[in-house]
A and B are shown apart, each in its own frame.
Chain A
C-alpha cells in the first residue's frame, strides 16, 4: 500500500479511535491523539518524496495525490506547527469537557490541510478544503460562545468562498474535461478572455476568505478568538496559509498568462496592503489579547498577500518566507495567550499585569515572537519584511511601500501593548498566586520561539525549499544572487548579513551583562515595584501606578476617519435585509387552502397564456 494513502488512513482511523477513547478515563486518549498526529507526520517526513504520486478513480473522476516542492513548503508549516500545537493541546485541554470532540476535529484539520497540499486534482482539493472548513467551524463553536453570530458568520463566508471555488472547478471541468490542476495550468492560456478572468476571480474569492483578505476578512476576528487557543494556533498559523497556498498557484500559474494581466496583481497587492493597515489598526484598539492577535493575524496575512500579489521573485520569496514566519510566531503567541488564560482565567490585557516573574518562560517565548512579529533583527520577521520592502521599491510600488511601512510601524504599538499588558507593569496581588504553565505547554512555545531565531539567523534553511518551489513554478534560481544561507543581497549590490548582526547584538548583550554584573554587584538592592516615590508621595499598597487602559488615545484620534467605516456593518445590513426578504417569501405560504387553490389556477392559466416555453419546437 502506498504511504500516501496510509497517512490518511492513520489520520482518519486515529481521529475516530481518539474520539471513541475519549469516553474512557486516563491517559489513553491523549496517547492516541498524539500518536495519530505524530505517526503520519513522521511518515510524511521519512517516506514521502517529492514527485511520488498515488492515483485512483472514484465517481467518474480521476484522483491524484502527490507532493510538489511548493506544497512541501506549506506541509512543513502544517506538520511542524501541527505537532507543536498538538503537544500543547494535550496539556491545555486536560480536564476540559468534550476533549474527544476537540481531538477529533484537530486531527481532521491536520489531515485535511495535508490533504489539500497533497491534492493534484481539483475534486480532492475541494473535498479536503471542505473538511478543513467544517472541522475548523466545529472548533470555532466548540466553546459555545456566540455560536449563532460568530460561528455562522465564519461558515457563511467559508461556504461562499468554497462555492465560488466549486463553481470555478466545474467550469474548468467543462472546459478541459479534466480535474487535474496541471491540466488547468496547461490549458489556461487557451481559454477565452472571459474565462481567464472568471476562473481566477472565483478561485481568489475562495482563497481570499481563508487568508482573511479584505473585504472577506470579517469572520476572522471572531473565529480566531472564539476557538480554543490550542486550536487558534494552527487556525491562524497554518489554516490561513492554505488560502495563501492556493493564491500562490493562482497568481503564478494562472494570472501570469492573462494578456495585460498585471493590473490584476496590483489589485490583489493593494487589497493585501489595505488588509495589512486595517488589521493592524484594529489590533491596536483591542483590549482582549485574543482579539488583538486575531486582528494582528489579518494584518500579517496582508503582508503575505502583498508579497504574493506583486509576484516578482523577491516579493514571492518574501511572501512565502513571511508565511512560514507568521506560522511560527503567531502560533506561539496564541499559545502564550492560551497559557495565560489557563493560569489566570482571563485574556484581557487591562486586567492581567506583571506576569514576567510568575511566568518567565512564557514571557521569553512571547518576547521572541513579538520581536519576530515586529520585524526587528535578528529574528525571522526582519528578513521577510526587508525583502518585502526591497521588492516593492524595486518594482516601483512606492505608495504601497508607504502603506506597508505605516502598518508595520503601527504594529509596534500593539506589540508593545501585548508585552506590557501581560508581563510588565506593576505586580498586583490579585495575580500573586499565578504559576508558570505546565512544561508540556511551555516547551512547544519555546521550540517555536527559538526556531524564529534560528530562521532569522540562517534564513537559507527555509529559503532553500522556497527557492526550489519557486523554480518549479517557473522562477529563475535565486540562490547566490538574492540570498545565501545567512545573507540577503539586494539589487544595489549591498547585502544584509545576518550573522554579523547577531554577533554584534550578542556582543552588546554580553558587554552589558558583564559590565552590570561587575559594576553593580555590590550596589544591588532588591526592591518591590512600590518602592518608589513620586513628587515626595509614597504610593500606598493598593494604589495602581501602571495603566493599560485606553492606550494610544491620540493615535486613534488621528486615524479615526480610517476606522469609522466598518465593512462588517454593511454585511450585517445585507444579511438583515435578506432575512426580511426571506420572511416575505415565507408568507407566500399563507396556510390558507383557498390561496393555494388560487395558486394552482393561476399557474394553469399563466401556462396556457404563455405557451411560449413549450412551443419553441
Chain B
C-alpha cells in the first residue's frame, strides 16, 4: 500500500493551494508540481485498484466518525477504475498543456494549473465519496474550476460561454440541494449506503421528486439533453486540453453520479427506461447537430455529448453486459476524445476562427497530427481494429440480449451520421489541396504534447488489438456497480465493527 484513497483528494487540493506559494520560489515549479502530483496520483490509484480487485473494496472513514454519521470514502473496483482513469487523463492533460501556449507566462499558467488541480480533485471526489452532501460539495468544486477554465482565454466569447456554464451550474446546484434536503428530511441520513438501505421506507412521491431533482441537477454536469446547452459553447471557447479534460474527466464524474443514484440509491425500476429514452434523445440530437457544425471543437463537443448519451443508454439497459458496455464506452471515450481534442487543437492552433473549412490539406503539412486525428476519428466511429469497435459491439450485443432491436437500429443510424461528419474532416485534412489563403498556418506542437498524443494513440491500438487488456477490470467494475447489497454492507459493516 502506497497510501490511502483520501490522498487522491487531499493531495491535489493541497497542491492547488500551494502552487502560487511555490511559484514565488521558482516560476517553473508552477508547471512542474502538478505533473508530479498527478503522476503520484496515477501510481497511487493504479496500485489501489490492483489491491482492490483482489482484496475487495476499501472503505475509509474520515476523522474517525463512523459510516452513517461521518463521511466515508469508497474505493471499489468501479470507483477505483474511474479514479485511475481520471488521474491518468489528468496526467496526460498536464503533459499536453505543459507550455501549451508558448506565450503563456507565469500568471495565466498559475491560474490554469490551480484550476486544473481543483477540477481533478473535485471529479475524483465525486466518484469516491460515500456521502451525498460531500458529493454535492465536490460537484461545486468541479463546477467552479470548470467555469474558470472555460473563461481562460479572457475574451468576450469565453466570458459568455463561461457565464452560461455558471448559470446552468447554479441551477444544477439548487436542484441538487433541494433533492438532498428532501432525502435528509425523509430519511435523516446523508450517507449514500445508509440512504440506499432505507430507501424502501420512503414515500414514493417524495422519492420520485427527489430523483427528478437529482437527475436534473447532475444531468446538467453529465450533458444530458436538454440540459446541456452550456456544453458546446464551453468546449468551443475553452482551450483544447481543457476540452479534453471536460470530456474525459468532468462528464465522467457526472455520469457516475447519475448511475450511482439510479443503480444504488433509488429503487425505481422505471428509471432505467428513462435512462434509455433520455440517452437516445441526447445521442440523436447531439450527433445530428454535429453534422452541420463549422467549428472543429464545437463538432467535437457535440460528438462528446452524443457519446455520453450512448453511455447512458448502455447503463439504462441495466444488465451486467449493459453496464460493462457502458464502462467500456466511458473508457474508450476517455482515451479517444482527448486524442481528438489534442490533435484537433494542434491542427487549428494558428487559426483565429478554428473552422473546419480551414483544415484543407493539413495532412501534408502536419502529417503526425493529422494521423493522430484520423486515428481518433476512426476509433471513435467504431471501425475495427481500433478501440471504439469493441465498446460499440458490446453495447449492441447487450441491447440485443434484451431484445431492444429499435435501440440497435437507432444507434446504428446515428453511427452513420457520426461517420459522415468525422470523415468529412479527415477528407479535408488529407485529400484536399492546401491553399495559402484559406488553410491554417501549420504549427509544430512541442515534444511533450506529441508524447501525450502518442500515449493515447498507443492505448487506442492496444485496446483495439487486445481488448482483454481492459475487459477484466471493466467486468469487475460492472459487477461492483450491480451489487447494491454489497455496497451497503461494505460501508455500514465497517461502521458497526468500529463501534464494538
Measuring CB to CB, which residues of chain A are less than 8 angstroms from any residue of chain B?
Answer: 57-60, 123, 126-127, 130-131, 133-134, 137, 141-142, 144, 147-148, 151-152, 155-156, 159-160, 163-164, 166-167, 170-171, 173-174, 579, 581-583, 585-586, 588-589, 591, 593, 595-597, 599-600, 602-604, 607-608, 611-617
Q: Which of B220, B385, B420 contacts A156 (CB 8 A)?
A: B420
Residue pair B226, A604 in contact (C-beta under 8 Å): no
**Further pairs besides A133-B383, A612-B270: 10, Cβ < 8 Å:** A126-B384, A152-B427, A167-B408, A167-B412, A593-B167, A593-B229, A603-B226, A607-B215, A613-B273, A614-B271
A151 vs B227: C-alpha distance in the bound complex, in angstroms?
Answer: 36
- CB neighbours (8 Å) of A607 from chain B are 212, 215-216
Least CB distance, B422 to chain A, in whole angstroms: 10
Least CB distance, A111 to chain B, in whole angstroms: 11
Q: List 19 A-B contacts (CB under 8 A).
A: A59-B471, A131-B384, A147-B432, A148-B424, A152-B424, A167-B396, A167-B409, A174-B403, A582-B288, A586-B293, A588-B289, A597-B168, A600-B226, A602-B226, A603-B226, A607-B216, A614-B268, A614-B271, A616-B270
Residue pair B175, A582 in contact (C-beta under 8 Å): no
Q: B102-110, B138-146, B203-211: which one contacts chain A?
A: B203-211
A109 vs B226: C-alpha distance in the bound complex, in angstroms?
Answer: 43
Residue pair B385, A600 in contact (C-beta under 8 Å): no
Q: Let me know if B246 is at the binding interface, CB within 8 A.
A: no
- CB neighbours (8 Å) of A164 from chain B are 412
Instruction: Report, nearest first, the 8 A-B pairs whose CB atoms are least far apart.
Output: A596-B229, A174-B400, A59-B467, A599-B226, A170-B400, A127-B384, A163-B412, A582-B288
- CB neighbours (8 Å) of B216 from chain A are 600, 603-604, 607
Q: Which residues, 425 to 442 on B, are CB-close (under 8 Å) to A?
A: 427-428, 430-433
- Quick one: which of B171, B292, B466 has the most chain A CB within 10 A? B292
Measuring CB to CB, which residues of chain B are less than 8 angstroms from any residue of chain A?
Answer: 163-164, 167-168, 171, 175, 204, 208-209, 211-213, 215-216, 219-220, 226-227, 229-230, 232-233, 267-271, 273-274, 277, 285, 288-289, 291-293, 378, 383-385, 389-390, 393-394, 396-397, 399-401, 403, 405, 408-409, 412, 415-417, 419-420, 423-424, 427-428, 430-433, 466-468, 471
Residue pair B431, A151 in contact (C-beta under 8 Å): yes
Residue pair B233, A591 in contact (C-beta under 8 Å): yes
Residue pair B285, A585 in contact (C-beta under 8 Å): yes
Residue pair B378, A586 in contact (C-beta under 8 Å): no
Least CB distance, A381 to chain B, in whole angstroms: 36
- CB neighbours (8 Å) of A126 from chain B are 384
A615 vs B423: C-alpha distance in the bound complex, in angstroms?
Answer: 43
Least CB distance, A109 to chain B, in whole angstroms: 14
Residue pair B288, A581 in contact (C-beta under 8 Å): yes
Which residue on chain A has the smallest CB distance to residue B212? A607
A583 vs B294: C-alpha distance in the bound complex, in angstroms?
Answer: 11
Residue pair B270, A613 in contact (C-beta under 8 Å): yes
A164 vs B213: C-alpha distance in the bound complex, in angstroms?
Answer: 39
A69 vs B273: C-alpha distance in the bound complex, in angstroms?
Answer: 47
Residue pair A134, B168 in contact (C-beta under 8 Å): no
| Contact A148/B396 with A156-B419, A159-B415, A613-B273 known, Cβ cut-off 8 Å | no
Q: Which of A579, A591, A602, A617 contacts B269 (CB 8 A)?
A: A617
Which residue on chain A has the smallest CB distance to residue B399? A170
Least CB distance, A364 to chain B, in whole angstroms: 36
Residue pair B393, A163 in contact (C-beta under 8 Å): no
| Contact A604/B213 with A59-B468, A170-B393, A589-B232 known, Cβ cut-off 8 Å | yes
- CB neighbours (8 Å) of A603 from chain B are 216, 219, 226-227
Q: Which of A159, A170, A613 contacts B277 (CB 8 A)?
A: A613
- Quick one: which of A164, A602, A607, A612 has the most chain B CB within 10 A? A607
Which residue on chain A has the smallest CB distance to residue B215? A607
- CB neighbours (8 Å) of A586 from chain B are 288-289, 291-293
Residue pair B289, A170 in contact (C-beta under 8 Å): no
Residue pair B175, A604 in contact (C-beta under 8 Å): yes
How many A-B Cβ pairs are below 8 Å? 170
- CB neighbours (8 Å) of A171 from chain B are 400, 405, 408
Residue pair B212, A604 in contact (C-beta under 8 Å): yes
- CB neighbours (8 Å) of A597 from chain B are 167-168, 171
Least CB distance, A42 to chain B, in whole angstroms: 25
A615 vs B268: C-alpha distance in the bound complex, in angstroms?
Answer: 7
- CB neighbours (8 Å) of B396 from chain A are 166-167, 170
Residue pair B427, A151 in contact (C-beta under 8 Å): yes
Which residue on chain B has the smallest CB distance to residue A586? B289
- CB neighbours (8 Å) of A144 from chain B are 431-433
- CB neighbours (8 Å) of A131 from chain B are 383-385
Q: Which of A141, A596, A617 contacts B267 (CB 8 A)?
A: A617
A602 vs B273: C-alpha distance in the bound complex, in angstroms?
Answer: 20
Least CB distance, B188 to chain A, in whole angstroms: 23
Residue pair B164, A596 in contact (C-beta under 8 Å): yes
Which residue on chain A has the smallest CB distance to residue B171? A600
| Contact A142/B466 with A130-B389, A174-B401, A600-B220 known, Cβ cut-off 8 Å | no
Residue pair A596, B293 in contact (C-beta under 8 Å): no
- CB neighbours (8 Å) of B415 from chain A are 159, 163
- CB neighbours (8 Å) of B405 from chain A are 167, 171
Residue pair A147, B427 in contact (C-beta under 8 Å): yes
Least CB distance, B185 to chain A, in whole angstroms: 18
Least CB distance, B138 to chain A, in whole angstroms: 21
Least CB distance, A144 to chain B, in whole angstroms: 4
A593 vs B229: C-alpha distance in the bound complex, in angstroms?
Answer: 8
Residue pair A141, B270 in contact (C-beta under 8 Å): no
A526 vs B289: C-alpha distance in the bound complex, in angstroms?
Answer: 71
Q: Which of A163, A599, A602, A608 contacts B416 (CB 8 A)?
A: A163
A615 vs B209: C-alpha distance in the bound complex, in angstroms?
Answer: 11
- CB neighbours (8 Å) of A159 from chain B are 415-416, 419
- CB neighbours (8 Å) of A130 from chain B are 383-384, 389
A583 vs B393: C-alpha distance in the bound complex, in angstroms?
Answer: 29
Residue pair A155, B384 in contact (C-beta under 8 Å): no
- CB neighbours (8 Å) of B292 from chain A are 579, 582-583, 586
Residue pair B288, A585 in contact (C-beta under 8 Å): yes
Q: Which of A59, A588, A614 contacts B208 (CB 8 A)?
A: A614
A586 vs B466: C-alpha distance in the bound complex, in angstroms?
Answer: 38
Which residue on chain B has the smallest CB distance to residue A179? B397
- CB neighbours (8 Å) of B397 from chain A are 170, 173-174
| Contact A147/B431 with A155-B419, A159-B416 known, Cβ cut-off 8 Å | yes
A164 vs B416: C-alpha distance in the bound complex, in angstroms?
Answer: 11
- CB neighbours (8 Å) of B229 from chain A are 589, 593, 595-596, 599
A543 vs B423: C-alpha distance in the bound complex, in angstroms?
Answer: 49
A147 vs B431: C-alpha distance in the bound complex, in angstroms?
Answer: 7
| Contact A123/B227 with A134-B378, A170-B408, A616-B269 known, Cβ cut-off 8 Å | no
A9 vs B401: C-alpha distance in the bound complex, in angstroms?
Answer: 34
| Contact A58/B468 with A147-B432, A617-B268 known, Cβ cut-off 8 Å | yes
A123 vs B393: C-alpha distance in the bound complex, in angstroms?
Answer: 9
- CB neighbours (8 Å) of A148 from chain B are 424, 427-428
- CB neighbours (8 Å) of B293 from chain A are 586
- Quick one: which of A147, A159, A589, A616 has the most chain B CB within 10 A? A589
A155 vs B431: C-alpha distance in the bound complex, in angstroms?
Answer: 15
Residue pair B400, A173 in contact (C-beta under 8 Å): yes
Residue pair B423, A152 in contact (C-beta under 8 Å): yes
Which residue on chain B has the smallest CB distance to residue A160? B416
- CB neighbours (8 Å) of A57 from chain B are 468
A159 vs B215: C-alpha distance in the bound complex, in angstroms?
Answer: 35
- CB neighbours (8 Å) of A596 from chain B are 164, 167-168, 229-230
- CB neighbours (8 Å) of A127 from chain B are 384-385, 389
- CB neighbours (8 Å) of B213 from chain A are 604
Q: Which of A137, A147, A155, A589 contacts B289 (CB 8 A)?
A: A589
Residue pair A582, B291 in contact (C-beta under 8 Å): yes
A147 vs B430: C-alpha distance in the bound complex, in angstroms?
Answer: 10
Which residue on chain A has the smallest CB distance to residue B374? A138
A141 vs B423: C-alpha distance in the bound complex, in angstroms?
Answer: 11
Least CB distance, B150 to chain A, in whole angstroms: 13
- CB neighbours (8 Å) of B277 from chain A are 613
| Contact A615/B466 with A170-B400, A589-B232, A603-B227 known, Cβ cut-off 8 Å | no
